[in-house]
């Protein structure tokens, strides 16, 4: 077979219409061989060709006879010296880090480990068996796709409502999705799925990992799978498990069609991405890709003994973001998903791990510097999960401008407040208004806070108000996994109950939590299934359940129709009221120079709250009055004004007679929009004569039209 020198860039396997260029970075390798396979069933390569050139530590070659559809892998030569971080083993077939399609998945076998499994010397031993029959294979692809007039909706952050979902879990049981499309990208693009998302009113879907991943060896031995997918092996390849046609060349095409369909419906696509670690694990993990290509370059190793990995992810290893070629890998991957796959943004799993320049988290790390100056990535939605498992890893509020964050403090505060914990109203007020204590100091806006009550990691909303304790026995880890402190309650029972009084309290608490989420400043995120009362039967770490425990049970939609309509109503209210979608923090100062403030905080007596009232441990009730004039302008310069809004909160266990506001721009009466204790109440007025009967554990929302300013 002819091979020419080729080019060192771009990295990966790239078809140019006449042949394929292969380029692989390894700064410490002594030789790199390209291995070609005839089929996924092949036990060994049909050809093994040494890449002829090395330029700036990139090994490369051009093959004029090769075409898209070619299966391939690499063998990389160099020293095997684990104590010094070197783990080259040419007996192990390696996956291209830039693989855009996976032609064959991993088959677990002891030969995919670089050392002798079971040896008393563990990873210091050397395994000489050939892993080719079991290793994953990459596939050369043709990337052409007709996008037509596809355009990103580019929904402004302050108007964004995120819906977190798992592609399979969302569609597997959904009525109206054709059987052959269930659990797939095409299923998510089906009319039934789109109709639900549009009916609910969300503006963006945040997809749990769709990059190709492998199930951990330990899960494989226990007969389980990594359903969530936070164990990435290939950062460019969409997972074939979500393709309706189980062929790697079709997966990318189907993913693109899904994005195009969602865009046509005004829905953005955000990917949950895992660049903090890879599927190769710690020193006892397999040699599948980066470990065998150049372990010391790609991974963070401990300084005193390079045999071991620095682990800020809790998954065995951490990518070496200090190395320019690793940064390039991540940036190339991100740009690929934006430019070639048209996604609208990313949520970065354990993002603090990406910011560790040396050991401490550095919010001005190279990764963020590069993102900010990148003409492609600086324009998409960037969401950080602002923590990792290392020392000092909890970094909520410390990410730079241009980033939003999963606000874990919002989640915990709102759970504690509505559970009835004392001393929480001060922080609750701060979280309701966009968490200025976390974001204002760096020049960020309220929408830097992605607010959530629940997400994939933890209880569902139904379970949050139904269980005091986690119940993860089905995971096979003796209930040791998953968070122990969930700020949850069963309100008199543990799990499902037929007690009508307990169930009434639980349903009201669900309305309170969802209502608070959608009435808060910032960006609300809803976890899929919460809008219909999905349960995981108390499991708060369902990562290994690719079954009915995790799949959304759409039969609940009919049973919980009133609850679904309540959530829809809240979303409609949010979209219609500018006061709930402010682009700037409340100032507590006069509006347009008038003697009316943008926000008032009220006691149940109707007076403005001040001083020590915020710190009283016994206080569970307060009000928030927001001016409808948000002092902002639309794209063509028109003033944005909506209704004045009053929200009353009572997390206590006794009813409160809430007095009409003495402070603030109150009209003669206010109309009720929402009362979580009276979900079907209509045409209820709140006036200065009669105090409002605010039930225990309830939230009420009122509105009234502000006076129209005179135009001179």
CATH of residue 544's domain is 3.20.20.80
Whether residues 656 and 509 fall in one domain? no
Whether residues 560 and 458 fall in one domain? yes
For residue 342, what are the contacts with CB-CB under 8 A and spacing of at least 6?
Answer: 147, 150, 152, 256, 259, 260, 263, 269
What is the span of the domain harbouring residue 592?
587-705
Other CB atoms within 10 A of residue 622 CB: 24
pLDDT at residue number 389: 86
d(CA 512, CA 657): 18
Whether residues 407 and 332 fall in one domain? yes
The answer to the question of residue 329 being in a domain is: yes
The answer to the question of residue 77 being in a domain is: no
pLDDT at residue number 682: 80
d(CA 386, CA 395): 5
The answer to the question of residue 660 being in a domain is: yes
Q: Provide the b/e sequence for 549-573 (b: ≥16 CB within 10 Å).
A: bbbbebebbeebeebbebbebbbeb
Where a domain ends, among 579, 608, 629? 579
d(CA 277, CA 102): 19
Please identify every stretch of the chain with a pLDDT value under 50, giving residue numbers as ranges: 709-712
pLDDT at residue number 633: 87
Whether residues 506 and 443 fall in one domain? yes
Place of tokens 């299966």: 71
The answer to the question of residue 403 being in a domain is: yes
Other CB atoms within 10 A of residue 55 CB: 13
Whether residues 601 and 522 fall in one domain? no
Whether residues 627 and 575 fall in one domain? no
Whether residues 561 and 675 fall in one domain? no
Q: Are strands 669-675 and 656-658 parallel, antiparallel or unpaired?
A: unpaired
Whether residues 413 and 548 fall in one domain? yes
**Closest C-alpha to 63, from 26, 111, 96, 20:** 20
pLDDT in tens, 377-427: 999 999 999 988 888 889 999 899 999 999 999 999 999 999 999 999 999
d(CA 666, CA 686): 11
The answer to the question of residue 22 being in a domain is: no
d(CA 429, CA 451): 14
**Closest C-alpha to 523, from 195, 193, 199, 204:** 204
Whether residues 359 and 404 fall in one domain? yes
**Closest C-alpha to 521, from 438, 589, 609, 417:** 438
Whether residues 681 and 620 fall in one domain? yes
Phi, psi of 481 (to 5 degrees): -85, 165
Residue 349 designated active-site: yes
pLDDT in tens, 315-343: 999 999 999 999 999 999 999 999 999 99
The answer to the question of residue 14 being in a domain is: no
Where a domain ends, among 523, 546, 579? 579
- DSSP structure class, residue 670: E
pLDDT at residue number 710: 43
3-state secondary structure 104-166: ECCCCCHHHCCCCCCCCCHHHCCCCCCCCCCCCEEECCCCCCCCCCCCCCCCCHHHCCEEEEC
Contact 237, 212 (CB under 8 A): yes
Where a domain ends, among 579, 607, 622? 579
Whether residues 631 and 681 fall in one domain? yes
The answer to the question of residue 142 being in a domain is: no
Other CB atoms within 10 A of residue 579 CB: 24
What is the total count of domains within the chain?
2
Residue 385 designated active-site: yes
In this structure, what CATH number is given to the domain that contains residue 617? 2.60.40.1180
d(CA 351, CA 384): 5
Phi, psi of 492 (to 5 degrees): 115, -5
Count, residues in the chain: 712
State the catalytic residue, choosing from 96, 127, 164, 349.
349
Whether residues 228 and 333 fall in one domain? yes
The answer to the question of residue 67 being in a domain is: no
């Amino acid at each position: 077979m002819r091979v020419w020198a080729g080019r060192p860039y771009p990295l990966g396997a790239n078809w140019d219409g006449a042949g394929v260029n292969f380029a692989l970075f390894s700064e410490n390798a002594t030789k790199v061989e390209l291995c070609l396979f005839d089929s996924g069933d092949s036990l060994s390569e049909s050809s093994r060709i040494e890449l002829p050139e090395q330029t700036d530590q990139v090994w490369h070659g051009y093959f004029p006879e090769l075409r898209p559809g070619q299966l391939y892998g690499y063998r990389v030569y160099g020293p095997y010296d684990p104590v010094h971080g070197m783990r080259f083993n040419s007996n192990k077939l390696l996956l291209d880090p830039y693989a855009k399609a996976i032609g064959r998945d991993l088959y677990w076998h002891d030969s995919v480990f670089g050392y002798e499994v079971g040896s008393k010397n563990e990873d210091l031993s050397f395994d000489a068996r050939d892993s080719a029959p079991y290793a994953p294979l990459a596939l050369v692809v043709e990337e052409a796709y007709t996008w037509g007039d596809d355009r990103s909706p580019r929904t402004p952050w302050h108007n964004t409502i995120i819906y977190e979902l798992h592609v399979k879990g969302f569609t597997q049981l959904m009525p109206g999705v054709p059987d052959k499309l269930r659990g797939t990208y095409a299923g998510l693009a089906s009319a039934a799925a789109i109709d639900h998302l549009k009916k609910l009113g969300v503006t963006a879907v945040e997809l749990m990992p769709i990059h190709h991943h492998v199930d951990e060896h330990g899960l494989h031995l226990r007969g389980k799978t990594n359903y969530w997918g936070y164990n990435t092996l290939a950062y460019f390849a969409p997972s074939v498990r979500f393709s309706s046609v189980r062929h790697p060349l079709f997966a990318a095409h189907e993913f693109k069609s899904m994005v195009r369909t969602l865009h046509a419906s005004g829905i953005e696509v955000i990917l949950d991405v895992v660049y903090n670690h890879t599927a190769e694990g710690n020193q006892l993990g397999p040699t599948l890709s980066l470990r065998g290509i150049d372990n010391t370059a790609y991974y963070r190793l401990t300084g005193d003994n390079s045999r071991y990995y620095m682990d800020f992810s809790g998954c065995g290893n951490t990518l070496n973001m200090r190395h320019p070629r690793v940064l390039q890998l991540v940036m190339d991957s991100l740009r690929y998903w934006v430019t070639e796959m048209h996604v609208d943004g990313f949520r970065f799993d354990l993002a603090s791990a990406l910011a560790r320049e040396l050991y401490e988290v550095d919010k001005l790390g190279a990764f963020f510097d590069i993102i900010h100056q990148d003409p492609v990535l600086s324009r998409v939605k960037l969401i950080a999960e602002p923590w990792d498992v290392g020392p000092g890893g909890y970094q909520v509020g410390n990410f730079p401008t241009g980033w939003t964050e999963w606000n874990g403090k919002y989640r915990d505060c709102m759970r504690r407040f509505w559970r009835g914990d004392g001393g929480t109203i001060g922080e609750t007020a701060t979280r309701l208004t966009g968490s200025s204590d976390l974001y204002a100091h760096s020049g960020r806006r309220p929408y830097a806070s992605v607010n959530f009550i629940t997400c994939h990691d933890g209880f569902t909303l139904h379970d949050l108000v139904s269980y005091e304790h986690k119940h993860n026995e089905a995971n096979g880890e003796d209930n040791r996994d998953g968070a122990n402190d969930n700020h949850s309650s069963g309100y008199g029972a543990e799990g499902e109950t037929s007690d009508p009084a307990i169930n009434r309290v639980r349903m009201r608490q669900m309305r309170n939590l969802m209502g608070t989420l959608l009435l808060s400043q910032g960006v609300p995120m809803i976890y899929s299934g919460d809008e219909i009362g999905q349960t995981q039967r108390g499991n708060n770490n369902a990562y290994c359940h690719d079954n009915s425990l995790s799949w959304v049970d759409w039969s609940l939609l009919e049973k919980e129709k009133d609850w679904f309509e309540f959530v829809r109503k809240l979303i409609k209210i949010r979209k219609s009221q500018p006061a709930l979608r402010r682009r700037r923090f409340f100032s507590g100062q006069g509006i347009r120079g008038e003697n009316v403030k943008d926000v008032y905080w009220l006691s149940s007596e109707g007076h403005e709250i001040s001083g020590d009232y915020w710190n009283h441990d016994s206080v569970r009730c307060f009000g928030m009055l927001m001016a409808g004039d948000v002092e902002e302008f639309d794209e063509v310069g028109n003033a944005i004004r909506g209704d004045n809004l009053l929200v009353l909160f009572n997390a206590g266990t006794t009813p409160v007679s809430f007095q009409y506001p003495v402070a603030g721009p109150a009209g003669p009466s206010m109309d009720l929009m929402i009362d979580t204790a009276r979900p079907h109440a209509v045409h209820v007025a709140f006036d200065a004569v009669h105090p409002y009967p605010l039930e225990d554990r309830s939230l009420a929302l009122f509105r009234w039209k502000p006076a129209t300013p005179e135009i001179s």
